Chain A
């Protein structure tokens, strides 16, 4: 090791606190890059492999009922590579030892194993056998949650009949990487499962001999990106059989959530490290400028002895390189383990046959490179200034900085009221422009990260509140297998513990406004409905009009409709007629694209007296009654689905809130690193620059705490200015994220309560105080006499 390297090592060791502060910012930046990048690559690769393995469908068309023989022309459409039809129904599931009926989706698979579109990957047991017709393969996570194993028997209500099925295996499939039950916002394997049964058995129990109600297809590669045309043609061909909805892969629920997550990771992998590494570069710039300034004489001497400019430059650059390499290495290691943790979390959210955290050499190398580059760029400015000096000049003390009055001093009434301490603080802030700018920027970024993080949490809480407390207020929602008359409501009202029962009617239809069309559905509610209450933008409840529609804002946007416009509604079931209907109100919501109408009005539209397809119940919530109610519901065969709001909220709380807490912790730690690192750096640099000035104050009788208070005031002002500037940035970030995640299925509310801003300020101040503790310790330990004697 050369002597200069030894000097470097000692320089670094003597300022290890500062190095730690900067290195930690770089480390976090690189770790985020590596973690998000790895998670992105892990998920992308797992998705690609899994989709190929299962021959993931490029589109699906849900129909009322179609003879399989009629599907041949669709398969022959140019651009369609292959098709498969299957039978798909919702069902309720009765399990031993589970008090309430559970929900599930039943899908048919060929009796004999053959590669099919939307295939399954077996996880335990085997495929169907010839031994019995009533065999079932259960989706793996549901099976594991309920401890179901091959060889167990379960009960499904299929086509109004309770059927006993023999579990032969458990499986996963690429179409349910993210399995959502109807109306759910997160996977809930405790209450929702997928059940695969034999094709022939499904045809038998659902009276679908030679027929199907869902078509799956693969497209030619060149059409995958824009399947619109071919799907329209397919839909037209199949329209006699009642097309409910055509779903290209991009709109497939599971794929959409997974893809959004992957896109989000890619964005975060660029965005977050940029924030951190920019802050690190600025902070490093301040530190290196100071270091080079402090070692002015050494620089001059080295040059006088005969060291060349590049040698001296590289010597200082090594300081930055060391930080860059150290930060990069630590970041790579931390990032790898963060990615492993994220991977564990993703295994809990997404269901893949295999999801592993890999080591990506390219990603880690890029991380290292970015880190080193950031350090070098951050240090070049500060280092170069000294290099430009001729050696003789470098050895002379730096001419005193331009004194002069700062702008604030011209505000006479203000300035004259300030104590000398405050004047020193303000002058120092104004004169060290670069340092102040770096501090303000760092604090702004830290605050933006905090505000955006807190707003994400607020959005989640608000969304859950809005959806499950304001709009959906029933305790239990029953979906009937078939439309029934008013008697179904009376029956439901008689169930144990039911205080109130309200009917609902779901009608699948196509909305048409000129060139804009959209398949969807209308939910009929009674005009005085209290268990589903749509709300407007100002969170005011909307009363269901006796005629016309209450349409969700998202759908109105898609169809280019506004309040007072009319829309064509074409029903898919029943008489399949087209009506022109007014849009009376626009409702707000964050899930789906609901449309509401008066149930009587809607019944008349489909040509019936009063049809009921679901019942919402408010119960007295007494445990005894609830148990009896569940028992009754478990026995009722006419139910397609049973949803409990309490269970839904509980499962959301369990998973989402748990993740949220981890998320808050991470955000606060990350923001803390920024705040702490930059404040510490700014204060220590300021301290070093002003040693003589402060030593003089000591001699004049200032105590260490008074000196500390000067430093603290300075960093608090800079931190608070930055924090206040960062808040709107955080808000804008959230708006940007909300835009990014805006889809028909899911939207992200942008809400920010005073709490978000108060917490951000409190945390910023707390970080500043913690950083100041280190500064105060340095002040206490400083040798003031030596500082006074040292020559400039």
Chain B
């Protein structure tokens, strides 16, 4: 069995021959085709590829937001594809922090309250103010999303993801809606979380300029993995440009 050959210390997640088909009305769209991939504990993984290449689909599957059509997904020694709905919920609650391109803050909750949305769920949460301090927004914690800039909203989203102390941070185009310098600041924050707090980070982007900051880069095209390469010396975010 596959478990026997998994090195539990190093592999956090593993996808094996995963297919994903979306049914859009009468149309079946194949989003992933025979994708196999491992995500290692504590690494900073960047997945790039043009839109429609399957990045978000992988992220959603890894995050327990979506199911596979075929294939298997393993989280440590557990077979995620066999998770019940409540096991998936528990997994998302305890293990994963999401950061979305459009932040997905609850519009009628303040910054602080948006963070509390996740701390109230967690058994071992960070202090809300501390989480906001980490992203440099403790001063603006009473502001509502509509009163914050895009970068600030994304930092609130990061604080929200962090605050419940997840092992895995999944970032879906976190800089996609941000300007260049704000984007880099957010990337710096993610790198620090990875290096200093040891969080495993999976970041997906269509912007391949971001790839050099990663420990490992996965390139996707048309729902398939076309390249995986290790990056033994990642570049600091301040040095990249797009």
Contacts and interface: CB of A to CB of B under 8 A. Distances in A.
A305 B85 contact: no
A3 B113 contact: yes
Given A3-B109, A6-B113, A306-B118, A301 B89 contact: no
B121 A306 contact: yes
Given A3-B109, A391-B66, A392-B65, A307 B121 contact: yes
Given A6-B109, A7-B108, A11-B108, A305 B118 contact: yes
B25 interface: yes
A308 B83 CA distance: 14
Interface string B1-45: 000000000000000000000001100000000000000000000
Contacts of A308: 85-86, 89, 93
Contact of A392 (B66, B108, B114): B66
A300 B104 contact: yes
Contacts of A3: 109, 113-114, 116-117, 120
B104 A307 contact: no
Contacts of B56: 392
A267 interface: no
B102 A791 contact: yes
Given A6-B109, A392-B60, A305 B121 contact: yes
A309 interface: yes
B75 interface: no
A2 B120 CA distance: 8
A395 B113 contact: no
A306 B91 CA distance: 7
Contacts of B197: none
A390 B114 CA distance: 22
B66 A297 contact: no
B120 A395 contact: no
A390 B120 contact: no
A399 interface: yes
Interface string A379-416: 00000000000111101000100100000000000000
A486 interface: no
A6 B164 CA distance: 20
Contacts of A307: 89, 93, 121
B90 interface: yes
A7 B105 CA distance: 12
Contacts, number: 86
Given A303-B65, A305-B93, A14 B120 contact: no
Contacts of A306: 89-90, 92-94, 96, 118, 121-122, 164
B66 A393 contact: yes
Interface string B79-109: 0000001100110111010101010101011
Nearest to B61: A392
B174 to A, nearest CB: 14
B67 interface: yes
A7 B106 contact: yes
Given A306-B94, A307-B89, A308-B86, A390 B106 contact: no
Interface in A277-303: 297-298, 300-303
Contacts of B57: 392
Contact of A14 (B96, B100, B108): B108
Interface string A236-253: 000000000000000000
B55 interface: no
- Specify the main secondary structure of chain A where it touches its partner: helix
A86 B94 CA distance: 89
Interface in A4-61: 4, 6-7, 10-11, 14
A669 interface: no
A305 B160 CA distance: 9
B68 to A, nearest CB: 12
A304 interface: yes
A59 to B, nearest CB: 69
A60 B67 CA distance: 81
Nearest to A390: B66
Contacts of A304: 63, 65, 92, 96, 98, 104
Most B CB contacts (10 A, CB to CB) among A7, A301, A307, A393 go to A301
A717 B25 CA distance: 31
Contacts of B160: 305
Interface string A304-320: 11111100000000000
Contacts of B122: 306
A248 to B, nearest CB: 66
A302 B92 CA distance: 10
A300 B98 CA distance: 11
Contacts of A297: 104
Given A3-B113, A306-B118, A392-B60, A301 B104 contact: yes
Contacts of B67: 390
Contacts of B94: 306
Contacts of B60: 391-392
Nearest to B67: A390
Contacts of A14: 108
A402 B26 CA distance: 12
A402 B24 CA distance: 12
Interface string B41-74: 0000000000000001100100101110000000
Nearest to A2: B120
Contacts of B63: 304, 392
A395 B104 contact: yes
Most A CB contacts (10 A, CB to CB) among B60, B100, B117, B164 go to B117
A494 to B, nearest CB: 89
Interface in A394-445: 395, 399, 402
A7 B92 contact: no
Contacts of A309: 85, 89
A4 B121 CA distance: 11
A297 to B, nearest CB: 6
Contacts of B117: 3-4, 302, 305
A506 to B, nearest CB: 78
Most B CB contacts (10 A, CB to CB) among A3, A7, A10 go to A3
B92 A395 contact: no
A6 to B, nearest CB: 6
B65 A390 contact: yes
Contacts of A300: 65, 104
Given A7-B108, A7-B109, A307-B89, A399 B24 contact: yes
Interface in B142-161: 160
Contacts of B108: 7, 10-11, 14
A399 B86 contact: no
A535 to B, nearest CB: 68
A391 B65 contact: yes
Nearest to B118: A305
Contacts of A4: 117, 120
Most B CB contacts (10 A, CB to CB) among A4, A7, A304, A399 go to A304
A120 to B, nearest CB: 68
Contacts of A791: 102
Interface string B182-209: 0000000000000000000000000000
Nearest to B91: A306
Most A CB contacts (10 A, CB to CB) among B56, B96, B98, B116 go to B98
A316 to B, nearest CB: 14
Most B CB contacts (10 A, CB to CB) among A2, A305, A395 go to A305
14 contacts: A3-B114, A3-B117, A7-B108, A10-B108, A303-B89, A304-B98, A305-B160, A306-B89, A306-B94, A308-B86, A309-B85, A390-B66, A392-B66, A395-B100
Q: Nearest 10 pairs between A and B by C-beta?
A: A306-B93, A392-B60, A392-B66, A392-B65, A10-B108, A308-B89, A301-B104, A391-B65, A306-B92, A3-B116
Given A309-B89, A391-B60, 5 more contacts: A306-B94, A308-B86, A392-B63, A392-B65, A399-B25
Interface of B: 24-25, 56-57, 60, 63, 65-67, 85-86, 89-90, 92-94, 96, 98, 100, 102, 104, 106, 108-109, 113-114, 116-118, 120-122, 160, 164
Interface of A: 2-4, 6-7, 10-11, 14, 297-298, 300-309, 390-393, 395, 399, 402, 791
